[in-house]
Structure 1
Amino acid sequence: MAQETPGQAPPAPATPARMLLPSILPALAVGVMASLLLLGVSEAAEALQDVLWGDLPDALGVGRYSVLWMLVMLTATGIAVGLVVWKAPGHAGPDPATIGLDAPVLPLSVLPGLALATALMLAGGPSLGPENPIIAVNVGLAYWLGHRLVPRAPGRLWPMLAEAATIGALFGTPVAAALLLSEALATRETRGALWDNVFAPLVSAAAGAMTVNLVAEPSFDLDLPAFGRPGWVDLLAALVVASAAALLGMAAVHAFPHVHAVFRRLRHPMVALPVGGVVLGLLGALGGHLTLFKGLDEVGELAADPDGWTAGEFATMTVVKLAALVVAASCGFRGGRIFPAVFVGAALGLTAHALVSDVHPAVGVSAGVLGVLLAITRQGWVSLFTAAVLVASPSIIALLCIASLPAWLLVTGRPQMQLRADGTPVR
């Protein structure tokens, strides 16, 4: 038996299995519920997007992604979301610039407005993803149902289950949720072994991931050209691209509170959101239609033809998408920052490949995504996981782990892309 070293804290006692077993059924229920809500909002948004960006411009004889239609649609989206934020109970939740993946428990009356604002945003084209608001909706719903159906369960259980379930559903695997949980638990004072603490959330994440996989069959693999055995050139490329991506992401982080302050001076959502929509329409006209929407499908289009654009075109899309992310997150659109950040990183990596042909597309894309996500999310494990899963090559993981080290030194301890209520950045 191992002896306890004098002065060393005793190991945390393991939780008996009989204490963990009762959490399985609630975790499974939350996992299925959270994934179905995510799928429902996403499907509704996609159906509306098909109408707004396909059927309607075709009927009017206007180009689907003409400058005119992008300006009209982004402005109209700002008006529609502004109406929801203005009139819905609770104003569709707090200022999204102050919310991260760790969502607060919102009153039940706020959740329909938040879900509606999210669906309208996803359909209308602003550069945000569904993760933050959907997590908030699932957290509020799970907390409300859990307290009524299982009143003896600790209140902190339901938000953790809902967050894990939504992350598992978003990525189609519980691994991302497990990594996020382990990172979150490292900053909290917890009791018991790590796997005891993540047991129920991991069940919830697995249920969410399996539900989505059975219904929608999601895939993050970009099907880039095969990457074989890494060499010294690949290592150098990964280090340079990841660091450059982290610096680019930090430029957006530093601009975020200033842009947010400008929109905050407009005060009313029926002013700030339509103005934000106009700016996003102009950015879309500059960067092209691939810089619209959350960015995941658009990343697939870029990756399908890594040599299909010039370095200048890739660079333009990179900068425009990053600017659109900052504007959309600042003016009040309800949405998350992970998926548009993935587009920014992928476009930057393909810029590097277009400039220097020795930079393998898989290395450029994964390292670019890693660096941007580290700056935008400040979630190390999730950034590594997302970057690696886009390429689906085991040999890329070692390169990314090494490349994450200088990139992390560039972002740690610095402002985050999340604000306090007074508008100052979280550190």
Structure 2
Amino acid sequence: MSAKPTAGAGKAPADPLALVRTRGYAGLLLVAAVLGAPISAAAFGFLALVNELQSLLWNDLPKGLGFHGTPSWWAIPLLVVAGVLVGLTIRYLPGTAGHKPAHGLSTTGATRPVDIPGVALAALASLGAGAVIGPEAPLIALGSGLAVAAVQLSRRDLPPQAVAVVGASGSFAAVSTLLGSPLLGAFLLMEASGLGGPLMGVVLVPGLLAAGVGSLIFVGLGSWTGLGTYSLAIHNVPPAGTPTYGGFAWALGIGVLAALAGTGIRRLGLYLEPRVERRMVLGTALLGLAVGLLALIYAEATGKSATEVLYSGQSALNPLLGDRAEYSVGALVLLVACKSLAYSVSLAGFRGGPVFPSMFVGAAGGLALSHLPGLPDTAGFAMGIGAMCVSMLRLPMTAVLLATLLLGTDGLAVMPLVIVAVVVSYFVTLRLAPAPAPGPDAGAAPGAAGAAAPGPTGP
């Protein structure tokens, strides 16, 4: 832990691998391995708590109040209260209770330990009550903050680069199996942070080590407790078949449609965000009201559960594909519309991540389009996930991997189609985005900003 940067504090060294050649880097690897276990256990506990909160608030509480089942309107008061709690947390606790999800996956460095309570409380209120937001961003921030807090208890004069590496390792450990594989989680963090070249290896090696340890902890705790690992998993995938020319034509169309939809979702969230922040508590309460009303509209119009509009959609992807025959085209279109609006509204004020809702919206949209000629279910499902994911996250490699590896061998069969859909969506999304305002760093090489702050997501 005695590694010292070769440049001034807070700046990237001229030779990023200089950190690797110091004796202290071996200490960082040891720290990453040691911290991987408790941080992964904490992440597992956080996900278990979220799962219990969702069941308690949606199933047990209505029964305790005398209802025979959960009313379709139940989400409205639940999310209004959650919005108030999130608003109070953002207003009165240090930090901003985690990064703002409307801006994608933020990469502003390691989370400050003082911000951990705000991140945890806002995420629990958002995820537990049913806001359309995912758990990945809070886990990334909490893992980073816990790792930094742990090492600062023993030594407060750590070089900035060492703090960044430790924080990144904590994030790797926290999301080690959330996406179904520690490699997928590692790839998401790597691409989101914008790292490249030698600097990528400096952060990636201890991060992968922490993720490997964390994956073992997730699997062990899931088996010991009987709760599972809370990993994203899709089973009983219909045979994909061989890609056809018609499939490639659909890939072009799905890419364009996903880019338009994703741009609309993001822009509405960014439009609402500053207006909510003017009166944070009232604003987040109104956001909760809007999400609850959208869930009620879908439930009353289709006769299906309001929970299909609520929550991140992580656990709903598998039944959506498995029960696809039970959805009419109209029900799928309404589900996409209500989920997209609820997603956009949730991005404006609640706290969580943008990954899983984008996957669900894309999957439902792909299944709706699969009712048209020439588009098999599995191909539409996979292309929808990849195209919508890249439109919201702007991480093309991660989008391809998420859409294909989770489907097993059938995902590999449709990978060429997914790649086309992702590339088209990515291109159209970038073309639709407003040009960035010129700044003092205009003209700098891509990735230069990321090189100065190698740590992953923080608030």
Q: Are positions 1:200 and 2:242 aligned together?
A: no
Would the aligned equivalents of 1:284 and 1:291 in 2 still touch at CA under 8 Å? Answer: yes
Q: Of 311, 319, 327, which residue of structure 1 is paired with 2:337? A: 319
Q: Of 290, 296, 320, which residue of structure 2 is paired with 1:285? A: 296
Q: Of 270, 275, 287, which residue of structure 1 is paired with 2:281? A: 270
Q: Within 2, Cα distance between the matches of 1:233 and 1:94?
A: 41
Q: CA deviation at 1:299?
A: 2.1
Q: Are positions 1:235 and 2:248 aligned together?
A: yes
Q: CA deviation at 1:298?
A: 2.0
- Which residue in 2 is equivalent to 1:381? 397
Q: What secondary structure does 1:297 align onto? A: coil
Q: Are positions 1:179 and 2:197 aligned together?
A: no
Alpha-carbon spacing, 1:174–1:271, altered in 2? closer, same or farther (3 Å): same
Q: Are positions 1:344 and 2:361 aligned together?
A: yes
Alpha-carbon spacing, 1:395–1:18, altered in 2? closer, same or farther (3 Å): farther
- Which residue in 2 is equivalent to 1:5? none
Q: CA deviation at 1:225?
A: 1.1
Q: CA deviation at 1:405?
A: 2.1
Would the aligned equivalents of 2:59 and 2:70 in 1 still touch at CA under 8 Å? Answer: no
**What is the TM-score when the length of structure 2 is the normalising length?**
0.79
Q: Within 2, Cα distance between the matches of 1:62 and 1:191?
A: 60
Would the aligned equivalents of 1:172 and 1:210 in 2 still touch at CA under 8 Å? Answer: no
Q: What secondary structure does 2:350 align onto? A: coil
Q: Of 37, 44, 54, which residue of structure 2 is paired with 1:39? A: 44
* RMSD, matched Cα: 2.9
Alpha-carbon spacing, 1:231–1:206, altered in 2? closer, same or farther (3 Å): same
Alpha-carbon spacing, 1:143–1:99, altered in 2? closer, same or farther (3 Å): farther
Q: Within 1, Cα distance between the matches of 2:323 and 2:35?
A: 39
Amino acid at match of 1:376: M
Alpha-carbon spacing, 1:64–1:39, altered in 2? closer, same or farther (3 Å): farther
1:21-100 to structure 2, matched below 5 A, reads 21-62=26-67, 64-90=69-95, 92-93=97-98, 95-97=100-102, 100=105
**Cα offsets for 1:46-86 (capped at 9, x unmatched):** 21222211112123343644333121212222233334334
Q: CA deviation at 1:249?
A: 0.8
Q: Within 1, Cα distance between the matches of 2:72 and 2:124?
A: 23
Q: Within 2, Cα distance between the matches of 1:230 and 1:244?
A: 20
Would the aligned equivalents of 1:49 and 1:124 in 2 still touch at CA under 8 Å? Answer: yes
Alpha-carbon spacing, 1:259–1:12, altered in 2? closer, same or farther (3 Å): closer
Alpha-carbon spacing, 1:55–1:13, altered in 2? closer, same or farther (3 Å): closer
Would the aligned equivalents of 1:167 and 1:176 in 2 still touch at CA under 8 Å? Answer: no
Amino acid at match of 1:78: G
Q: What secondary structure does 2:176 align onto? A: helix
Q: CA deviation at 1:270?
A: 2.2
Q: Within 2, Cα distance between the matches of 1:197 and 1:173?
A: 19
Q: Within 2, Cα distance between the matches of 1:67 and 1:184?
A: 37
Q: What secondary structure does 1:221 align onto? A: coil
Would the aligned equivalents of 1:352 and 1:359 in 2 still touch at CA under 8 Å? Answer: yes
- Which residue in 1 is equivalent to 2:444? none
- Which residue in 2 is equivalent to 1:390? 406
Structure 1, 296-305 or 314-323: larger mean CA deviation: 296-305
- Which residue in 2 is equivalent to 1:6? none
Would the aligned equivalents of 2:255 and 2:387 in 1 still touch at CA under 8 Å? Answer: yes
Could you list the runs of 5+ residues in structure 1 that have no partner in the other structure? 1-10, 419-427
Would the aligned equivalents of 1:366 and 1:390 in 2 still touch at CA under 8 Å? Answer: no
Q: Of 140, 153, 161, which residue of structure 2 is paired with 1:148? A: 153
Q: Within 2, Cα distance between the matches of 1:156 and 1:250?
A: 32
Q: CA deviation at 1:396?
A: 1.9
Would the aligned equivalents of 1:302 and 1:347 in 2 still touch at CA under 8 Å? Answer: yes
Would the aligned equivalents of 2:90 and 2:118 in 1 still touch at CA under 8 Å? Answer: yes
Would the aligned equivalents of 1:245 and 1:372 in 2 still touch at CA under 8 Å? Answer: yes
Amino acid at match of 1:369: I
- Which residue in 2 is equivalent to 1:247? 260
Q: Are positions 1:362 and 2:367 aligned together?
A: no
Q: Of 107, 121, 125, which residue of structure 1 is paired with 2:130? A: 125
Q: Of 215, 218, 241, which residue of structure 2 is paired with 1:212? A: 218
- Which residue in 2 is equivalent to 1:165? 173
Structure 1, 100-109 or 39-48: larger mean CA deviation: 100-109
Q: CA deviation at 1:166?
A: 2.9
Q: Within 2, Cα distance between the matches of 1:13 and 1:124?
A: 45
**Cα offsets for 1:379-409 (capped at 9, x unmatched):** 1111111111332222122222233222221
Alpha-carbon spacing, 1:197–1:161, altered in 2? closer, same or farther (3 Å): closer
Q: CA deviation at 1:121?
A: 1.5
- Which residue in 1 is equivalent to 2:120? 115
Alpha-carbon spacing, 1:407–1:98, altered in 2? closer, same or farther (3 Å): closer
